[in-house]
Structure 1
């Protein structure tokens, strides 16, 4: 919209006072001719802005001229309240434009004070390393649907399943963690997380969501997070090479309990798992790890390693 572009142009000038027409065109994603035309419109309307020609020229806002264009719109306030999102996640939610405008307004208000803002010193990127591109589901459309608080019928494929199944859920909202988006909902009065990468279809039903009256998105998320990160039922004791301790901390997180080091380059640690089958995660450490106890965990690792070794003895068919 032209009005939004004119406001953006003004906010940039209040921050910098003199900017080249080429830089403005790049920032606002229009042509230089459009920028010059917009400057003419603003000047005609009485805004003290003009185009200064020459080698060191540019678009100039007269010194001391400050316009109060910093009031935030509801969409802009929404975008700032979701402060933990990075650029990719804002794009997925469809709030990039509102967020960018809010940031320009804040920068314009801050310009008089000088100094470097914290936003110029910190980058937030919530995506995982080497993360694959997001699926085809339009997260912004889903968020818009959830504003009306409807009950949903979804087609969802559970992890490891070949086909999706249909169910009716009572949604609380969306959550994002480690670069992945989740739908937080009650399924048969039980809080669950639905990975949006495996959500194949959803339909808003006519009746409102029957969520638990004493719960909201934040309380249910806390419940699910505690359930997921709670201490496991099996403590697996392993020897791990010292050179792989930092990697283990990144991969295993709170499951890893360190128990001192030895002089031979290995460290004795404990890994907490919900069951013995989960020890298959430790195979990624290859020959840098040895499972010591309990015996059923050590046996399971031996079975898995034997199967892998047998499969790699001969060339693939």
Structure 2
């Protein structure tokens, strides 16, 4: 611990040369007396550093004294390899402290870098934040808890809750690693030889087994992740033809992604498009667009929207009235297409 602190102290001095003992104590989370003892230890090791007394004193590193910051240990190399992660995600992997030390080494190296002609560093104009806009799901397993078992190559017994279910059945999986996508962490593993994604927010518990993971020959984490990602993002075989208000096109592209295809103008207010899905019941997802959308085809999807709208209206009717949904047509009696889509009195959200 002391060796790590001495290195951190030296790196901080390399970035500024003169730092007050109070600031060093705060940055390194020790007392000012400890900082002075550390300075004495560095002096005994031949480092040209000394403490200045007085109100404006501090710890000073003589000019020309530089640590070779090109030598990074394995954990620091891991931090650099995970450059796509933000600080919160590194912390969830247990890399917060080593990230701070690595950044200090890099800051020390940048101090000696050639001048950039007044152009500010790229890191000053770019920020990385992978958190989703609307927050994260609570619960589940932290990524750092899985790291040791994954690096040991162990088979895992997991308790996992599928989406929309309450039970957490137990399974045995052969993990390749974890992946971060759009602010969410996933366990990437084979289950009975089939690649699967397990959201860590629904991974209730896990245990490392004494047997090693049985990976498919020649298959790596990168390869499995690419296969699963392409499978999820591949357009489905079910196609809904829709009429969508043009002011909602950007929103639809954010929500539906690659599932929204073949967008073309219908008139000044509306666009026509195709929404691809894996199952006919996915038409439910289109209800979140409320009266900004009309499902044109297939006819079975139009009838399903009518049924869903009838059910929503009935359950949202004011107590004592109970008639809001009774006049809506049932399946097979949907209105014919007119110049505007069917308008509901509310905008249900899927």
TM-score higher than 0.5 here? yes
> How far did residue 185 of structure 1 move?
0.9
Shift in alpha-carbon separation, 1:51–1:215, aligned structure 2, 3 A: same
Deviates more, 1:272-281 or 1:135-144: 135-144
Distance 2:10 2:99 in 1: 17
The equivalences for 1:212-227 within 5 A come to: 212-227=216-231
How far off its partner does 1:218 sit?
A: 0.8
Instruction: Give CA deviations for 1:164-200 in whole Å, capped at 9, x if unaligned.
Output: 1111111111111111111111111111111111111
Cα separation, 2, equivalents of 1:291 and 1:53 = 78
Equivalence map 1:247-262=2 (5 Å): 247-262=251-266
Please state whether the residue corresponding to 1:46 is helix, strand or coil. coil
Residues 102-150 of structure 1, C-alpha deviations (whole Å, 9 max, x = no match)? 2221221221114443333322111111213652524212111111111
Pair 221,2 (structure 1): closer, same or farther in 2 beyond 3 Å? same
**Mean CA deviation greater in 17-26 or 63-72:** 17-26
Deviates more, 1:260-269 or 1:145-154: 260-269
Please say which of residues 278-287 and 184-193 is displaced more in the overlay.
Answer: 278-287
Higher helix share: 1
Deviations 1:218-277 (A, max 9, x none): 111111111111111122222222222221121111111252334442222221111221
Aligned residues: 316
Aligned to 1:229: 233
Are 2:246 and 1:245 aligned? Answer: no
In the alignment, the residues of structure 1 paired with residue 251 and residue 34 of structure 2 have an alpha-carbon distance, to the nearest angstrom, of 52
Q: In structure 2, what is the equivalent of residue 166 of structure 1?
A: 170
Q: Secondary structure, in 3 states, of the residue corresponding to 1:215? A: coil
Aligned to 1:280: 284
* Structure 1: distance between partners of 2:285 and 2:56: 61
Q: Give the structure 2 partner of residue 19 of structure 1.
A: 19
8 Å Cα contact 1:49/1:60 also seen in 2: yes
Preserved CA contact (<8 Å) 2:142 2:200:
no
Pairwise CA distance, 1:33: 4.2
Residue 71 of structure 2 aligns to a residue whose secondary structure is coil
2-side partners of 1:215 and 1:254: how far apart?
27
Moved more, 255-264 or 3-12: 255-264
Match of 2:104? 104
Q: Aligned partners of 2:5, 2:234: CA distance in 1, in Å?
A: 50
Q: Deviations over 1:199-224 (max 9, x none)?
A: 11212112111111121111111111
Contact 1:22/1:32 (<8 A) preserved: yes
Contact persistence 2:140–2:200 (CA under 8 A): no
Q: Deviation above 6 Å: which 4+ runs of structure 1? A: none
**Range with greater deviation from structure 2 (184-193 or 251-260):** 251-260
Helix, strand or coil at the partner of 2:208: strand
Instruction: Pick one of 130, 133, 136 that aligns with 1:132.
Output: 136
5 Å-filtered alignment, 1:142-221, equals 142-221=146-225
Q: Which runs of 5+ in 2 are unaligned?
A: 321-350
Is 1:290 the counterpart of 2:285? The answer is no
- Measured in 2, the distance between the counterparts of 1:228 and 1:259 equals 21
Contact 1:7 1:69 in 2 (8 A): no
Structure 2 CA distance for aligned equivalents of residues 133 and 309 of structure 1: 29
Q: How far off its partner does 1:22 sit?
A: 3.8
**How large is the Cα RMSD of the aligned pairs?**
2.2
Q: Structure 1 pair 30/289, CA: closer, same or farther in 2 (3 Å)?
A: farther
Mind listing any 5+ residue stretches in structure 1 that lack a counterpart? none
Whether the 8 Å CA contact 1:232–1:273 is kept in 2: the answer is: yes
- Relative to structure 1, the CA distance from residue 34 to residue 298 in structure 2 (aligned partners, 3 Å threshold; closer, same or farther) is farther
Q: Bigger shift: 282-291 or 171-180?
A: 282-291
Q: Which of structures 1 and 2 has the bigger CA Rg?
A: 2
Aligned to 1:61: 61
Task: Report the TM-score, using the length of structure 1 for normalisation.
Answer: 0.91
- Whole-Å separation in 2 of the counterparts to 1:147 and 1:107: 30
Distance, in Å, in 2 between the alignment partners of 1:198 and 1:259 is: 35
